[in-house]
Amino acid sequence: MTEIVLSDVSKRFRLPDREVTALDGITETFRSGSFTALIGPSGCGKSTLLRLIADVLPPSTGEIRIGNHDPAIARRSHEIGFVFQDASLLPWRTVLDNVSLPIEVAGKAPARDPRALITMVGLAGFEQARPSQLSGGMQQRVAIARALALEPKVLLMDEPFGALDEITRQRMNLELLDIWKASGTTAVLVTHSISEAVFMADTVLVLSANPGRIAHRIHIDLPRPRRLEMMRLPAFNAVENDVRAALFDDGTRVPA
Amino acid sequence: MARAVAEPDARLLPGRYAEAQERLAALRRAIVFAVLLMGTLLLVWAGIIAALDVPHYMAPSPQAVWGALTGEWAVLSKALGFTLRSTLAGMALALVLALVLAALFTFSDLLSRAFLPLIVILRTAPILAIAPLLIMIFGRGQATSVAVVVMVSVVPLMVNAARGFRSAPANVVELMHVCGASWWQTFQKVRLPFAAPYVFTGIRMAAAGAVLSAMLAEWLSGAPGLGTLILEASSFRRLPLMWAGVVISMAASVSLYVVTVQLERKMTR
Ligand SMILES: Nc1ncnc2c1ncn2[C@@H]1O[C@H](COP(=O)(O)OP(=O)(O)O)[C@@H](O)[C@H]1O
Ligand SMILES: [Mg+2]
């Protein structure tokens, strides 16, 4: 199974004039098949944490294991799916060819049919469209379909819906939960939205800045499957308030 | 959360096509203007020579140049063919060399820091100064011409290609890495296509001087192209032939530029 384990991980960046400690003493286990949300002020190291897990950057100290392997091994065996805030599509490729990109890279039989993925993210009929012909929300769905193309064991998302309007965002959230449930992938979602974090996750990790640390772990006991109506329940609002309190009352100043 | 939707750089491709279209339109306007200007100049030229009775060994009349163009077409076209072959072979070779070098520099920052300044500095050495060396290595035939065109073209091509390879958005490159892509896969699937508009800019810049470089090489080596034809016609005081050669070399330069613009338009369609 694909558990992500971080043991006493820290990350420092050397700048010309000083050193920045982006993350310090991060010890955390992301259970296999769980959904975790990361929330915290800008600059607290959320993106850095995802990049460490994805083997884009090496940790300065500590160790990261993905399903008992080094992240580099997980990455090279194409087990990691990544979604950025901007869709980062290749403008000259069609939707279909963008979704197929990881399959081309891996050079093996597709774990999933790209056309089925496109249908799943609600873009059936747009297979031959170019990214420039799509709205921001549609482009982001293409990016999610692309991240799922190799049936990743780990799905890392860095504010994937940050640029979308509220309605599109909620629809995408529901779709993403269905996809996650069906695929059994271990998901980590960075978000700025408290309600999105509570709605999606089993566990919300609240990070504090300077240095980036896990300040609070909040378990969300709402039943699954999650439904939009739940957002009006007192229980949902109570958890939201817990997260809000954790985010604002941990002694660090939160930039507006 | 009402942030603007971050559009990816999709405008790049249609933009490139539109730009090429625009350049072509501008070129057409320039050609019409040039034809009108040349027509006027020719009239003034012919008028002055007739009015002042300028001796033909100082400046030929347009009619005499036209006579040379048609009368000596066999000689001229042979020389043009030689020069054009040197130019095209040189540019093709320079393009391959530039892409390989730029790719190496993208691959390794160390290589880039060590060799890029060196190449740019080497390029500032006047061709005239290294001509004897070139002739010694490549002989008095076409090879020296090709070498000179390569030397003159490779730097603008390489600098633009390197800039193009680096223009791929960091997120896209990072995404390829996370997908487990090799350096070569990222290069071929992401960096090369993102570099295409930059490479075309390099080709346009190089094309502008390539015909002239090939002719310069002929002046140094004596190889039988347009450059040598112009030089010899001048020293034998065959002014109409000399001017015919000049006109043809200019036409060749402009045509080469038009071809690169057309090529870009085709490939970015
Ligand atoms: N490549 C880098 N080089 C230097 N500093 C960096 C780099 N990446 C991130 N940082 C610094 O690390 C800190 C955390 O950044 P980041 O992980 O992007 O935060 P977040 O995603 O939570 O907003 C910031 O202070 C940022 O300036
Ligand atoms: Mg970030």
**What does the block give as tokens for B158?**
């390489």
Please name the residue of chain A whose CA is at the shortest distance from the CA of residue B177: A56
Distance, CA A158 to ligand 2 centroid (Å)?
Answer: 7
SS3 A155: strand
Greater model confidence, B250 or B266: B250
Rounded to whole angstroms, the Cα distance separating A31 from A207 reads 19
User: From the candidates A88, A150, A158, which should be mutated to test the interface with B, based on the most B CB atoms within 10 A?
Assistant: A88
Q: How many residues does chain A have?
A: 256
pLDDT in tens, B20-73: 788 888 888 888 888 888 888 888 888 888 888 877 777 788 888 898 889 999
DSSP H or E stretch at residue A156: strand A154-158
Tell me which residue has its CA closest to atom 24 in ligand 1: A43
Nearest to B258 by CA among A229, B73, A235, B250: B250
For residue A13 and ligand 1, the question of a CB distance below 6 A is answered with yes
Share of chain B above pLDDT 70, in %: 94
Q: What is the mean predicted confidence (pLDDT) over B152-172? A: 93
Contact between B148 and B216 (Cβ < 8 Å): yes
User: Is A130 within 8 Å of B179 when comparing Cβ atoms?
Assistant: no
Nearest to A246 by CA among A203, A200, A207, A213: A207
User: Is B171 within 8 Å of A130 when comparing Cβ atoms?
Assistant: no
Identify the pLDDT of residue B2.
40
pLDDT band at B252 (very low <50, low <70, confident <90, very high): very high
Provide, as residue numbers in chain A, all residues whose Cβ is less than 8 Å from the Cβ of B175.
82, 84, 88
Question: To the nearest whole number, what is the mean pLDDT of chain B?
Answer: 86
Identify the pLDDT of residue B57.
73
Identify the pLDDT of residue A120.
83
Rounded to whole angstroms, the Cα distance separating A250 from A215 reads 7
**What does the block give as tokens for A63?**
């160790």
Identify the pLDDT of residue B37.
85
Rounded to whole angstroms, the Cα distance separating A243 from A197 reads 9
Give the residue ranges of chain A where pLDDT is below 50. 252-256
Nearest to A2 by CA among A34, A45, A40, A46: A34
- Which atom of ligand 1 lies closest to the CA of A48? 17
Contacts of A63 (CB under 8 A, 6+ apart): A6, A7, A8, A9
pLDDT band at B129 (very low <50, low <70, confident <90, very high): confident
In Å, how far is A116's CA from the nearest CA of chain B? 20
Q: Please name the CATH architecture into which domain B58-268 falls.
A: Orthogonal Bundle (1.10)
Identify the pLDDT of residue B8.
39
pLDDT band at B146 (very low <50, low <70, confident <90, very high): very high
SS3 B234: helix
SS3 A187: strand
Q: What is the mean predicted confidence (pLDDT) over B121-148? A: 86
Contacts of B184 (CB under 8 A, 6+ apart): none
For residue A133 and ligand 1, the question of a CB distance below 6 A is answered with no
Identify the pLDDT of residue B125.
77
Residue A61 backbone phi and psi in degrees, to 5 = -140, 170
Number of C-alpha atoms within 13 angstroms, CB side, residue B74? Answer: 1
For residue A20 and ligand 1, the question of a CB distance below 6 A is answered with yes
What ipTM is given for this predicted complex? 0.90
